[in-house]
Structures are given as C-alpha cells and as structure tokens.
C-alpha cells in the first residue's frame, strides 16, 4: 500500500503536466491559425507602405527637379519667374506674360519664357496638367473680356 501512495501522486503530477502541455500546444496551434491571415494582411500593408514611401520619394525628387528648372528659368529671364509652394495638389508658378491692348497675341518679349517653361514641363512631366489663369482689363463688356481672356489662355 505504501508503494501505491507514492505512485498515485506521481501519476497525478504526470497527468497534470501532460494535460497542461497539451493545452499549450492546442492554444499555440489555434493562435497560429488565427494569426495567419493577420500576418498576411500585415505583410500586405508593409509592402504597400514600402511602395508608397518609394512613390513619395520619387515625387519629392520630381518636385526638386522642377524647382531646379524654375531656378534656371529665373536666372535666364532675370527673376521673372516665381513659384508658390505646393498649391493644393500641384505647384503654382507665376509667369508674367502681358498682352497689348485688345490683343490675344503674346508679346515677342514674353514668348521665350513661355517657350522655356513649356519645354521644361513637356520634357520632365509630359502628363502634367497646366492651368492658365489671368485677367483682362475692365475696358469692354464682360462677354468681350471673357472671350479675349479665353483667346489669351489658348
């Protein structure tokens, strides 16, 4: 009977140890099963973040290149080119172009800066969308000035 007293506690301890160990294995397996899709999503997000970071860095490089081109235009045309910082989703550039009264023809003195700017944009950013803004003087009717402004923009 004395031998049974020794074996019973040992068997109880062994069973407790085995059941606890098996429970941990089941829990780890369940955790792995649940975490598999989460880990996949995490990998996808990390890949997207890496791609977005590369795209942002490329855009920053493009902006710096455009700023360099604008600096060259400033030097070439005596500071008549100014750039706003980022304006909405794009870059605002002010090119002073003037027209003779009642005319939509670009003055000869302003043609070189427009040509240089157009070449810089077309060369580096062929897909860029350029918005032309300007104004006409107050002489004439609103309809006339709208038509003249449209002709000047074109």
Domain co-membership, 32 together with 103: no
For residues 14 and 43, membership in a common domain is answered with yes
Write out the two tokens for 1. 């009977």
Q: Is residue 148 part of a domain?
A: yes
CA neighbor of 112 nearest in space, from 83, 77, 69: 77
Predicted local distance difference test score (pLDDT) of residue 137: 74
At 10 the pLDDT is 58
Kindly give the confidence (pLDDT) of every residue in the chain, 154 residues in length, as a single tens digit, with 9 standing for 90 and above. 455 555 555 555 555 555 555 555 557 777 788 778 878 888 888 889 999 999 999 888 888 887 787 777 777 766 555 555 545 556 667 777 888 888 888 888 888 888 888 887 787 777 777 777 777 777 888 888 888 888 887 7
3 state DSSP class of 100: coil
Backbone angles phi, psi at 83, to 5 degrees: -130, 135
Q: Are both 74 and 5 inside the same structural domain?
A: yes
User: How far is the C-alpha of 129 from the C-alpha of 18, rounded, in Å?
Assistant: 71
Residue 90 forms part of a structural domain: no
Do 73 and 5 fall into the same domain? yes
For the whole model, what pTM was predicted?
0.45
Q: Do both 15 and 72 map to the same domain?
A: yes
Q: What is the pLDDT, as a whole number, of residue 80?
A: 52
Q: Point out the domain boundary residue: 25, 43, 78.
A: 78
User: What is the span of the domain harbouring residue 131?
Assistant: 95-153
In a domain, 89, yes or no: no
The tally of domains found in the chain comes to 2
**Residues 2 and 33 both lie in one domain:** yes
Residue 32's pLDDT is 80
Q: Is residue 86 part of a domain?
A: no
- The 8-class DSSP code of residue 42 comes to H
| 85 lies in some domain | no
Q: What is the pLDDT of residue 3?
A: 54
The pLDDT of residue 54: 92
């Amino acid at each position: 009977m004395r031998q049974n007293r020794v074996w019973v506690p040992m068997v109880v301890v062994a069973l407790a140890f085995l059941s606890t160990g098996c429970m941990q294995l089941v829990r780890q397996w369940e955790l792995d099963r649940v975490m598999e899709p989460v880990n996949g999503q995490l990998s996808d997000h990390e890949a997207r973040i890496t791609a977005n970071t590369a795209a942002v860095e490329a855009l920053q490089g493009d902006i710096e290149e455009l700023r360099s081109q604008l600096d060259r235009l400033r030097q070439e045309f005596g500071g008549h080119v100014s750039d706003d910082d980022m304006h909405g989703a794009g870059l605002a550039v002010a090119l002073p172009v003037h027209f003779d009264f009642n005319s939509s023809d670009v003055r000869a003195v302003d043609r070189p800066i427009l040509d240089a700017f157009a070449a810089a944009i077309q060369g580096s950013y062929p897909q860029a969308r350029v918005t032309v803004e300007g104004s006409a003087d107050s002489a004439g009717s609103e309809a006339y000035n709208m038509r003249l402004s449209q002709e000047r923009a074109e």
